[in-house]
Structure 1
Amino acid sequence: MKAAIYTRYGSPEVIQIIDTEKPVPKPNEVLIKIKASSVTRADTMMRAGRPKFGRIFLGLFKPKNTSLGTGFSGVVESVGSEVTEFKIGDEIFGEKLFSNGCNAEYICITEDMVIALKPTNISHQEAAPICDGFLTSYNFIKEHAKLKKDQHILINGASGSLGVAAVQLAKVLGAKVTAVCSSKNSDFVKSFGANRAIDYTKTSVYNLPDKFDVIYDTVGTLNYKDTKTILTTDGIFMTPVLSRKVMWQMLWNPKNVKFEATGIKKTEDLKRLLKELINLFEEGKLKTHVDKTYILSEIVTAHQHLDTGRKVGNIVIINP
């Protein structure tokens, strides 16, 4: 089978497509023929080895895990002898972290991991990014912010994968949403429920007259210290993008500054959140926006597009 890997840090050109053995499921695993997989900003940061202090975990001089891609959707091709929850032919989506990546033709994954039956009302392309975008944003908005009806949330990077998910989730919870993006994406984020859009190239969020209960910085470009003037007294500043500054601010302001790598939460917690998201997708309250699709052999181009910073929604790799 074919799979995307990177053996050194750098630009998209370090990615290679290799031929490798098709995996065989262990007794507690399912073998999935991947129909679609995600390409995310987190993938590009790991590929580039950024931030550099993150290489303490990723590998100091070269990546320990050379695989790419975490989110996937596909069809069960075979099952191990101990598998009871899934059967051959089931359409499944989810995520796989810290091991063989999903930017490939096949993966094996244990049935107790973060996987579930794909909602029948969405495609594989729409399902593949859910655990990267929606699951991460839902964890922050529900678990960390505990966002409530009529509260006001500012979402920075609102037109990206995490941002589009956050706008929709905040509206489902009944909050007022101010979205920060470029002017060309203003109507786009409003179509997903944002009450208003702020063009970050023309207006500094630090100078807004509003007070926000929650600031969700999906792209890691804001500074908590500067946002305190626009946060309510007990306001929450949260971001999925780790930096030294965020680590320091969390130490001094643990009640107000929140960071978490959602993927390392307990599996049972992630499965609980995912189940709630599935219900919302089945009810038609949430929708995945796919910006561009590429085939696996075009994954370098997909990473190049991501590096431009002009992605709107999600990028998906498809296996025809």
Structure 2
Amino acid sequence: MKAVVCNKYGSPDVLQFEEIEKPIPKGNQVLVKVHASSLNYGNLVLLKGEPFLARFAFGLTKPKYPIPGGDIAGRVEAVGKDVKQFQPGDEVFGDLSSCGWGGYAEYVSAAESALAKKPANLTFEEAAAVPMAAVTALQSLRDKGKIQTGQKVLIYGASGGVGTFAVQIAKFFGAEVTALCSSRNLGIARSNGADNTIDYTKEEFPKKIDHYDLILGVNGSQPISVYKRALKPNGIFVNVGGSGSQLSQAMFLGPWISMTGSKKISTFLQRQNQKDLIFVKELLETGKVKPVIDKCYKLSEVSEAFRYFEEGHAQGKVVITI
């Protein structure tokens, strides 16, 4: 089979398009013929080995998982003897980040627990755009942010992969959503249901003090003090992405701020979860949430896709058609 292989850390130029052996599913694994995959921030970490601490999980000197790709959508070709949820011919989608990655290939053997039935109303490309980004948005809002109906929620970085899902999922939970993004992305934010929008190229970070119940920092590089000022008493800031300095402040200053006042500052790391993926599937099938796709690339064009993705201006998801 054809696959994209990464044998050393570096730029997108280190990715190789190769012919390798097709995998054989083990007892609890499902062999999937992959029709589409997508790019997420985790793929950049696997490629570059940065931040360095990530290498303790992904390999100190070279990638532990030579085939990148977390999100997939495809059709089941074979199943291991212990698999109970799927059979050959089923259309599935899933997140492989907890079971060895490997989505940038024509076939992958994935743990049964990493997959769910593909939403019937989505194409393979649309389904591949969903798992990691949508589950990240769901878990950060519901579990870490404790979102409630009627709350005022700010999504900082509302036009990328996680941000586009976060706006829609926050609306599903009944929040009043403000989307912060650039001028070119305001239309996307509104089409996803944002009640209010802020153009960061023309307006400073919200000047209103004690205004938001929950702020989701999907992007950005603001000092933590700015987010704290914008939160209501008992409000919560959840750092999902953004600059290294923003993450460092959230990690090291956040606990102190949280212990010494009513406002909470926290960081979040998505965890693959089949139940959450099925929950998102139901939202997709009822039309309450939809994926936003910026560009599609062929498997042989993965290096080009990475170069575009790391520019940081994608409107929604970047998808790989296989």
Normalised by the length of structure 1, the TM-score is 0.92
Residue 52 in structure 1 maps to residue 52 in structure 2: yes
- Do 2:210 and 2:232's aligned partners in 1 also have CA atoms closer than 8 Å? no
- Do 2:224 and 2:249's aligned partners in 1 also have CA atoms closer than 8 Å? no
**Distance in 2 separating the partners of 1:204 and 1:52:** 32
Note the alpha carbon deviations across 1:57-98, whole angstroms, 9 max, x for none: 333333232221101000001112222211110001111125
- Do 1:206 and 1:229's aligned partners in 2 also have CA atoms closer than 8 Å? no
Residue 286 in structure 1 maps to residue 312 in structure 2: no
In structure 2, the partner of 1:11 is 11
Matched ranges for 1:1-320 at <5 A = 1-98=1-98, 99-111=100-112, 113-208=113-208, 211-241=211-241, 243-254=247-258, 256-263=264-271, 270-319=273-322
- Do 2:67 and 2:101's aligned partners in 1 also have CA atoms closer than 8 Å? yes
**Distance in 2 separating the partners of 1:52 and 1:26:** 32
How much does 1:131 deviate? 1.3
**Distance in 1 separating the partners of 2:258 and 2:49:** 27
Matched position secondary structure for 2:297: strand
**Distance in 2 separating the partners of 1:199 and 1:45:** 29
- Do 1:206 and 1:227's aligned partners in 2 also have CA atoms closer than 8 Å? no
Matched position secondary structure for 2:22: coil
| CA pair 97-137 structure 1, distance change in 2 beyond 3 A | same
Note the alpha carbon deviations across 1:203-255, whole angstroms, 9 max, x for none: 22153456111110112523322211110111111122373322213432457
| CA pair 93-254 structure 1, distance change in 2 beyond 3 A | farther
How much does 1:50 deviate? 2.3
Tell which deviates more after alignment, 51-60 or 78-87: 51-60
Tell which deviates more after alignment, 76-85 or 220-229: 220-229
Tell which deviates more after alignment, 145-154 or 55-64: 55-64
Matched position secondary structure for 1:207: coil
**Distance in 1 separating the partners of 2:311 and 2:47:** 15
- Do 2:209 and 2:231's aligned partners in 1 also have CA atoms closer than 8 Å? no
**Distance in 2 separating the partners of 1:64 and 1:232:** 43
**Distance in 2 separating the partners of 1:312 and 1:85:** 34
Tell which deviates more after alignment, 150-159 or 241-250: 241-250
Matched position secondary structure for 1:166: helix
How many residues matched? 313
Note the alpha carbon deviations across 1:166-208, whole angstroms, 9 max, x for none: 0000111111111111101111110110112211122221534
Note the alpha carbon deviations across 1:120-150, whole angstroms, 9 max, x for none: 1111111112111111100011111121111
Gaps of 5+ in 1: 265-269
Normalised by the length of structure 2, the TM-score is 0.91
1:280 maps to amino acid: L
How much does 1:40 deviate? 1.5
